[in-house]
Amino acid sequence: MPQTMTLALWCVLIAAFIPFVFAGMAKSQGRFDNARPRAWLAELQGWRQRAHWAQLNTFEAFPPFAAGVIIAEMTGGSQAWVNGLAVAFVLLRLGYGFAYVADRPTLRSLVWTGAFACTVGLFLTAAFVRA
């Protein structure tokens, strides 16, 4: 196991904060109701609503990604592959969120698929470690 924070592990930290980018966009309307946040968010329309949906999906994508990085690191997966997949995941998830906000569903789906493939790749990197 690595003794220092690898690039992939830093990507886990970065990915943990990505949902808050989109949450901030969703709440940027200026009349956010902190007493009833879920009810208020349910009433959003347009790009702010899509930013909220991007936030939710980004929270959902985080656990398997984080697990993939940690498992690949623990099993001694190729560090170059683990780092590359982790960086690609972060960039693709940012692209996913901005495609969602911009109402580009086809691009959003393609980018989502790429980020999902990165997560699967992390597990495969762990699975094919040479003994």
Instruction: Please tell me the distance from the alpha carbon of residue 71 to that of residue 83, in angstroms, as a whole number.
Output: 13
Sign of the dihedral through C-alpha 14, 16, 19, 23: negative
CB 119 within 8 A of CB 68: yes
Sign of the dihedral through C-alpha 73, 12, 50, 36: positive
pTM: 0.93
User: What is the per-residue pLDDT across 40-96, written as a single tens digit (0 to 9) for each?
Assistant: 888 899 999 999 999 999 999 999 999 999 999 999 999 999 999 999 999 999 999
User: What is the per-residue pLDDT across 1-52, written as a single tens digit (0 to 9) for each?
Assistant: 557 899 999 999 999 999 999 999 998 877 777 888 888 888 899 999 999 9
For 100, the 3-state DSSP assignment is: helix
For domain 7-127, give its CATH number from 3.30.1220.10, 3.40.50.720, 1.20.120.550, 3.20.20.100: 1.20.120.550
| Polymer length in residues for the chain | 131
Name the residue type at position 84. Answer: G
